[in-house]
Amino acid sequence: NDVLRLQGIGKTYNPGTPAAVPVLSDLDLSIGRGEVVALVAPSGAGKSTLLHIAGLLDTPDEGQVVLQGRDLTGASDRLRTQARRRELGFVYQFHHLLPEFSALENVVLPQLANGTPAGAARTRARSLLARVGLTEREAHRPAAMSGGEQQRVAFCRALANAPALMLADEPTGNLDPGTADQVFDLLMNVVRETGLSALIATHNMELAGRMDRVVRLG
């Protein structure tokens, strides 16, 4: 009943050339339903590579990527894109919100792209924003919000299509320590309430210790 299973993953950049960079080898990682896993890795250890493979953005040279019981390793781009949109949510260190759109619109748009009717998309976006305390910010554009608020919106956007798994790369890495702590608490509350599974890369050992399990690379 794992949400994600990575089995025997191997990845080398520029294989078979003098510039070959072996990054991952025989890596196994499973994430159970509702499990929140911290990914801790020194710079250069392959954290981004692993997140890209788990996020169906890159393919491994060896091994399998099984998402909710389906082996998507050799699946077509179309199937992988569909799985990415419906089953995965991404949060990055920088918010990557659309600057011309309000907080509400930023959470509505991925739902429209996924075929959700506009009314239902707005209702869900409002409910997500309310859960992270942003009801008063619905109409604000990203530039009019604080860093912590921007990351809370980005988190709502990641959850907009009710993914099974959230992949986060240093989601609070751009925030000052106090704000990072608050945003992380909010994020974890919503993750727990919704039973979402997550793989969260962080350099912050205190935050890693608050997750269910810590996986180390390198």
Footprint of ligand ADP (CB under 6 A): 13-14, 21, 23, 41, 43-49, 57, 81, 84-85, 90, 113
217 with 50: CB under 8 angstroms?
yes
Write down the least CB distance from residue 211 to ligand ADP, Å: 18
Report the distance separating Cα 48 and Cα 173, nearest Å: 14
The smaller minimum CB distance to ligand ADP, of residues 45 and 162, is found at 45
Report the distance separating Cα 126 and Cα 135, nearest Å: 7
The smaller minimum CB distance to ligand ADP, of residues 13 and 94, is found at 13
Write down the least CB distance from residue 85 to ligand ADP, Å: 5
Write down the least CB distance from residue 45 to ligand ADP, Å: 4
Write down the least CB distance from residue 178 to ligand ADP, Å: 26
Report the distance separating Cα 29 and Cα 109, nearest Å: 32
DSSP-derived secondary structure for 79-120: HHHHHHHHHEEEE-SS----TTS-HHHHHHHHHHHTT--HHH
**For 13, which DSSP code?**
E
The smaller minimum CB distance to ligand ADP, of residues 1 and 14, is found at 14
The smaller minimum CB distance to ligand ADP, of residues 15 and 136, is found at 15
Give the sign of the dihedral formed by CA 59, CA 65, CA 68, CA 74: positive
The smaller minimum CB distance to ligand ADP, of residues 23 and 175, is found at 23
Write down the least CB distance from residue 188 to ligand ADP, Å: 20
